[in-house]
Amino acid sequence: MTRFSEMVYTRPDMTRLTEEMRQVIKEFDRAETADAQIRLIDAFDRLSRAFDTQRSLASVRNTIDTRDEFYEKEVGFFDEVTPSFEELSVTFGAQMIHSPFRAELEEVFGKQIFALTELKLKTFRPEIMDDLVRLNKLETEHTKLIASAQIEFEGGVYTLAQLAPFMQDTCRERRRRAGEAFFGFFEAHEEEMDGIYDRMVQIRTAIARKLGYENFVQLGYDMLGRTDYTADDVRKYRDQVFRVLVPLCAGLIDRQRRRLGLDHLFWYDEPLNYTTGNAVPQGDADWILERAGTMYRELSPETDEFFRFMRGNELFDVLSKKGKAGGGYCTSFVDYKAPFIFANFNGTQGDVEVMTHEAGHAFQGYESRHMRLMAYGFPTLEACEIHSMSMEFFTWPWMELFFEHQTEKFKFAHLAGSLTFIPYGVTVDEFQHWVYENPEATPAERKLKWRELEKKYLPHRDYDGFDYLERGGYWMRQHHIFGAPFYYIDYTLAQVCAMQFWVKNRKNHEEAWNDYLRLCRAGGSRPFLELLELANLRNPFTEGTIASVVPALKEYLNGVDDRAL
């Protein structure tokens, strides 16, 4: 295996790659046997893997330091050429779909690749290539803008991620000032961000209409590979959340208010869980990763092998630093069969949460690394998030390694936060549906709609007169809204599934872990609802699924004397 620092980046020779891909396409069209076509599918997949590996290397190294001019140019190169690469992939996909040997091909590769390919054929035509290039460039522009944040606060200069500890401070006035400094960055760049997003919405809408869609909503679903549920299913799911979880979460928020000894909870109070301070890891980033090695060694032989592989090959970049892109993610370098974890540790409990979350993604990628097709390395996104969010819960028995005497503070906040997150997640989703159903809305109208939805799903939220947030600016902090439309609901769907694992794990760890392992090893070889069946999980869209996990969660939370924490 090659360490990350030793992985060689080489810009793909697009002339040569294009010729090779076209040659495979030509030979596939002429192939007279299923075996010949099977060999050519493998050949095309190898070419795709090589391109994707170099694209991932450029992207990761760019996000590690967005000021690096070389990788900034390389990301710009991929912004330009990826639509051409996708065009060839679609051409090859059309041949697969219409192959006279399709039944034989499905025997070897499974049906999911054909379902995904059929959606891809609907979502791409050559006439949208220029639009895709423009969209890629806007997404890169937004990422770089967020990474540029250098915020002055109390004599220091901080990135957005580095402000988080101040926003959780036990001093209320300091929390307020830190929160205002954080959102002050977005307010200062409000016009610029409105402009980027408005252009994104218009381009996506134009693409949808060119492809024959009424608007971007269904196109967005198709682009995400959603083959077995619809926007109407998601709407009904949001209704479940509104009926079942919004009242429950209102009670948890009020419990937080009483725990903090406040007459009224404002937005800047929400990040603080206890008057004694939030749970925090009792060591630095290296200490966290070292102890994570112990945790994964004890959890299972599979996770032990996985984590040693990750650490031994430098497949983490977790420190928050100047010029680094915000957020956290997991990706992979498919030619190396290696996942990669990117994060911004900042000394809060989120460091452990993001480590276990992204490790869930990476573990699934590691377990699926030998999949014959690159498309099966990861499933569609809502299934991906089951791996990550469930891993957060499977690692609960080892949280004392990180939080020591603050372990119970962490567990209560983590479980309560997992619940209160879901109404926020559906707020993001309903907002995006409205935006793309009303693409001519002005930036001000979008903010008004966001504020209206906050009042529906987050009725406790009080912005204490802070104008930018009162006008509905909060959504701008959610980078998924810019770069990954309709993705965010996946976190909430997966959270409902992860909570099922939490309940099952407390009853029978071996059974729960085997279900989880089976899910991870299936990778992306099946659609979402089939993966749920494989893992013995209830469908979140089915009425009653959310309500079915609530009693066990309430029992645990009500059994904790949170005022004593």
pLDDT tens digit string along 421-473? 999 999 999 999 999 999 999 999 999 999 999 999 999 999 999 999 999 99
Share of the chain above pLDDT 70, in %: 100
Confidence at residue 305, expressed as pLDDT on a 0 to 100 scale = 98
CATH class of the domain at 228-282+405-565: mainly alpha
* Interval 520-557: pLDDT, tens: 999 999 999 999 999 999 999 999 999 999 999 999 99
CA-to-CA separations, 477 to 38, 183, 417, in angstroms, rounded = 45, 8, 18
pLDDT for 322: 87
pLDDT tens per residue across span 163-188:
999 999 999 999 999 999 999 999 99
Find the mean pLDDT for residues 242-255.
Answer: 97
Classified as helix, coil or strand, 540 is coil
Q: How far is CA 119 from CA 27, 29, 215, in A?
A: 24, 21, 16
Q: Lowest-confidence range among 73-77, 101-105, 317-321?
A: 317-321
Res. 326 pLDDT band, cuts 50 70 90: confident
Which tens digit of pLDDT belongs to each residue from 262-292? 999 999 999 999 999 999 999 999 999 999 9
| Residue 79 near residue 85 (C-beta atoms within 8 A) | no
Shortest CA distance to 48 belongs to which of 8, 18, 10?
18
Helix (H) or strand (E) holding 49: helix 34-64
Does the pLDDT value for residue 358 go beyond 90? Answer: yes
Mean pLDDT (whole number) for 216-224: 97
The two three-digit tokens of residue 279, written as one number: 């749970």
Specify the pLDDT at position 1.
Answer: 78
Residue 321 binned pLDDT confidence (cut-offs 50, 70, 90): confident
Q: Cβ neighbours of residue 274 under 8 Å, at least 6 residues apart?
A: 259, 260, 409, 413, 562, 565
Q: What is the pTM of this model?
A: 0.93
- Measured from the Cβ of residue 230, the count of other Cβ atoms closer than 10 Å reads 12
CA distance 485 to 479: 10
Confidence of residue 497 (pLDDT cuts 50, 70, 90): very high
Residue 155: pLDDT above 90? yes
Averaged pLDDT for residues 353-358: 96
Return d(Cα 290, Cα 308) in angstroms, integer.
10
| Integer Rg of the chain from CA | 23
The residues facing 156 across adjacent strands are: 153
Asked if pLDDT for residue 481 goes beyond 90, the answer is: yes
Output the pLDDT for position 244: 97
Confidence check: pLDDT of 416 > 90: yes
pLDDT over 90 at 18, yes or no: yes
Q: Domains of the chain: which residue ranges?
A: 4-113, 228-282+405-565
Q: Taking residues 6-21, what's their average pLDDT?
A: 97
Q: Which of 140, 124, 7 is nearest to 66 (CA)?
A: 140
Residue 320, pLDDT above cutoff 90: no
Q: Which residues contact 512 (CB under 8 A, 6 or more apart)?
A: 394, 501, 504, 505
User: Distance (Å, rounded) from C-alpha 227 to C-alpha 204?
Assistant: 20
Amino acid of residue 55: R
Contact criterion met (CB below 8 Å) for 137 and 76: yes
Q: What is the pLDDT of residues 498-524, one digit of tens each?
A: 999 999 999 999 999 999 999 999 999
